Structure 1
Amino acid sequence: MVINFIPFRFSIDTVVIAGTCLWSLSLYLGLSSFRESVIEGLNRWFNFAERSLYRTQEEFEKTRQVRESQNAFYASLFSILPFFIIGGFCNWGVELGLGQSWSISMGILACMTCGVYELGRRSA
């Protein structure tokens, strides 16, 4: 039992986690130009940081294609973090203004609205 080893208790509010995830998903869908710039910036930074790990140019060029693909994957994965933080603030603002019962509902509405916007933006 893990509870026996931890001297204190902490509670996890599932409504806050669900609301934050819904808001971050809606922002991720709705702010596509910001999403692409975050992914591109992270990809550039990962490629730059990894270049400093190699001593010779031949060693660097040997696995370049694989590393760039891996860095693109990591950049896409880590691009979620800013949206999760901003989504947490949006969820907190809705809870502050309307109450905790509205945070999930507004997150669902925001997801549907931004999903429809993204579908319309891609078809145009």
Structure 2
Amino acid sequence: MLDLLPFSIERASIAGACLWAFALYLGFASLREWVTEMLDRWFNFAERWMYTSAKEFERTRAARESQNAFYASVTSIVPFLIAGVLCNIGVEYGLGRSWAVSVGILACFACGIYDLGRRSTAADD
């Protein structure tokens, strides 16, 4: 059990959820890219209201856009973490707690191989 939180979370549940999130992140590459692009667009749009001067806004555009791209990339993990938690709960409920991490590892292998194949066929075209 984790002693830092006021509620109990099993370490195996955290590991299983993260494995599932990683597998989903690899397996759904087009969704990952779409989420990242939408977050990047939103961050760029949301930051515009903070500048009163158009000159200052244009002067710092390159740095802000690259920073927002980084933030969007990091933030795009969150929906996959939520889906990973749900998949882990489903596996724990369906197969039992002992299978959650094992099936998460299998999902990582399968989605990793799928992603390698997807990239290989995309490079051939």
> Shared fold by TM > 0.5?
yes
| Residue number in structure 1 paired with 2:114 | 117
Which of 72, 81, 99 in structure 2 is aligned with 1:84? 81
1:23 aligns with 2:20: yes
Which 10-residue stretch deviates more, 9-18 or 61-70?
Answer: 9-18
- 1:1-124 matches, within 5 Å, as 10-124=7-121
* CA RMSD, Structure 1 to Structure 2 (Å): 1.5
- In the TM superposition, what is the alpha-carbon distance from 1:38 to its structure 2 partner? 0.3
Number of residue equivalences? 119
Cα distance in 2 between the residues matched to 1:11 and 1:110: 26
TM-score by length of 2: 0.91
More helix by share: 2
Runs ≥4 residues deviating over 2 A: 8-12
1:55 CA displacement: 0.5
Distance in 2, matches of 1:69 and 1:105, equals 38
Deviations 1:81-109 (A, max 9, x none): 00000000000000000000000010000
% identical aligned pairs: 61
Runs of 5+ unmatched residues, structure 1? none
Q: Structure 1 counterpart of 2:59, which letter?
A: K
Task: Report the alpha carbon displacement of residue 56 of structure 1 after superposing the two structures with TM.
Answer: 1.6
Quote the Cα distance in structure 2 between the aligned partners of 1:15 and 1:116.
24
Separation in 1, partners of 2:89, 2:70: 30
Q: Please, what TM-score do these two structures have when normalized by structure 1?
A: 0.92
Deviations 1:41-66 (A, max 9, x none): 00000000001100121010011000
